Structure formats: structure tokens, C-alpha cells
Chains A and B, each alone.
Chain A
């Protein structure tokens, strides 16, 4: 058990760091920013320009300090913009 490798940043099922952290019971729907990012992901996916798997890969590649600091849709936005830059669909400034 002690030789188990460290999991990837996003692979936090059972992570003992959160063992004593109460779940933050925020029920609010996404704000306007979040809804726009969410909608853009759906639009780009419907146009065949990206998959949800690519979105996840981009989120998972964020460094841990960003992964745990940025908000949910901020992470999505960084993943989507970089992915579109990677595919050459927007300028390099977004990579």
C-alpha cells in the first residue's frame, strides 16, 4: 500500500486531504460567466470541433495550484481556449 504511486491531480476519490472537509452546500446555479462558458463548450462540441474527453484532458493538465484554485468554469475556459489554439482554430495568444 505504501508504494502506491501518487494519483493524478484530478483523481481525488478518497483523497485523505479532504477527509475532514465539510461539503460546501452551495445550491446556486452557475452565474452568467459559467453559463456562457458551458454554452460555448456545447456549441463547439455540436460543431464537431471538440469532445468532452478533450475538455477533460485540458482540465487535468492544469498544474495542481490552478486546479484547486480556479473556479469550475474558469478551468473549463482555460481548457477550451487552449484546445482551440492547439487545433489552430484561434490565434496562438489563447494557448
Chain B
């Protein structure tokens, strides 16, 4: 099911880099944080598999917006950060 714009999501608070070699495109600073889907950008092979030459299933990619001040203390209210995140990193808010 494709998430609609405006859907509130939470980024999985997962740290695969602590378990062994991996390649992930979800920045550390949004793990476990709440964001809002801006739009569905399309479906792309999972880079976590491509990086190791494994067969890479196609995953939905979303632009997700995060309010800036909760992420970084010196942020300005009203500013935000837009990040491309794959569906398997998102869970219901």
C-alpha cells in the first residue's frame, strides 16, 4: 500500500551498522523520529542489497519531511528537512 502525502510516520529506531557490514541510506539523525510523508517518489531497487551485489527487490521511496528544531537544538521553528526514505524504514506513527 502506498502512503499518501500527509501521512505521519516514524522512522525505525534501528542501527544495522552495529550488527555488521551494511550499507544504509537512512541518516542516523532521523532514526526513531516522527515525520510526515511529502510524496511518493517512485519505486527503486533496495540499495542495501545493491551495495553487496545481491538481488535487490524494488521498494517504495518517499520524500519525508521532519520539523528541524526537534532534530537539532539550534534549529529555527518553521524550518524543516526533507529526506528520501525507503518504505521498510517507515512505521505507523
Contacts and interface: CB of A to CB of B under 8 A. Distances in A.
B28 A11 contact: yes
Interface stretch (A27-35, A55-63, A66-74): A55-63
B53 A54 contact: yes
B71 to A, nearest CB: 7
B51 A14 contact: no
Nearest to B74: A19
B23 A53 contact: yes
Contacts of B15: 5
Interface residues on A, range: 10 to 19
Contacts of B47: 53, 56
A13 interface: yes
Contacts of B23: 53, 56-57, 60
Interface of A: 4-5, 7-8, 11, 13-14, 51, 53-54, 56-57, 60-61, 87
B36 to A, nearest CB: 19
A61 B28 contact: no
Contacts of B31: 4
Interface in B1-58: 15, 17-18, 21, 23, 27-29, 31, 47, 50-53
A61 B23 CA distance: 9
A8 B50 contact: no
Contacts of B52: 54, 57
B27 A53 contact: no
A54 B29 contact: no
